[in-house]
Amino acid sequence: MADFGIKAGENVLLVWDQPSTPTTLKQLAEELGTIVGSDGKVSVENVERLLLSSHLASTFDCVVSCVLADSSTVHSSETLAELARILKPGGKLILDEAVTGAEVQSVRTSANLISTLKLSGFTSVAEISKAELSPEALSAYRTATGYQGNTLCRIRISAFKPNFEVGSSSQIKLSFGSKTPKPAEKPALDPNTVKMWMLSANDMNDDDLDLVDSDALLDEEDFKKPDPSSLTVPTCGEGAGKKKKACKNCTCGLAEELEEESKGKEKTNLPKSACGSCYLGDAFRCASCPYLGMPAFKPGEKILLDKTTLTDA
């Protein structure tokens, strides 16, 4: 039991599985009880009943799982998470499990088992030993998992729960150090550098400066107002067989021109009144007027007739 690292006065949980014999299980429990002494305690739990047990969180100093020679359990993620829950902060886990050299559906490799332990919340995961499976254990394992390969071996792994509870918090003190003090006085500038970037009124009248009049940059053509037709881009729908279409974000005025044309077409497409008094109301409408029963409207306003009215007419 020296490789378990159990000390006197600790609370230990021994997890077993089928087909472990009662004799070997009792012998191991007694050996653990001798180590922890009267101040400690050894509890025994079946791995299949572990998730249904009522163990409180952070109860055990050490958990020994499926270390009997004929154990054939594959520790699930839920089982490992429960073991992490009932361990005290800094508690130790010792488990045995059969692994294979190549990953298959029902058997893990040693690397996958170590990764699963880390994902379940354990730290300092390490492989302690490796041994061949006994014929009895190999037969039980094949029956439990359905694996028929010959590359199985048994490894023992130790892992620790982090030295803090899940959900615990701690205040972090940050020290940014002392700030660099600002200089009392601004650094002196080089007089030659200051003189180089200064321009006085006397320099403006200097005959050596060749200043350009901004008005002289424009000629008479620049002051003429351009013809609107010349601002239109040639590719804005102009040409044989093409329909005028304004570009997106048009700036040449074609979009406004097309909008005015469409408004003019809408006015010409308005229905014409035979008597010229349809818009005044039913009192001024003919007996066959399609607008009978409708309120008066403004001249030129577009009126939409429903299907019932058009059918009756």
Provide the annotated binding site for [2Fe-2S] cluster: 236, 247, 250, 252
Whole-angstrom distance, CA of residue 103 vs CA of residue 101: 7
Residues 6+ apart with CB under 8 A from 48: 17, 18
DSSP 19: T
Residues making up the annotated binding site are 236, 247, 250, 252, 275, 278, 286, 289
**Is residue 177 left, alpha or beta, with left meaning phi > 0 and alpha meaning psi from -120 to 50?**
left
User: Minimal CA–CA distance to 27: which of 40, 41, 44?
Assistant: 44
Q: How far is CA 127 from CA 7, 110, 253, in A?
A: 21, 8, 80
C-alpha torsion angle, residues 251, 253, 259, 260 (rounded to 10): 160
- Residue appearing with tokens 């023992």: 156
User: Minimal CA–CA distance to 110: which of 140, 131, 87?
Assistant: 131
Residues making up the annotated binding site for [4Fe-4S] cluster are 275, 278, 286, 289
Extract the tokens encoding 20: 């472990």
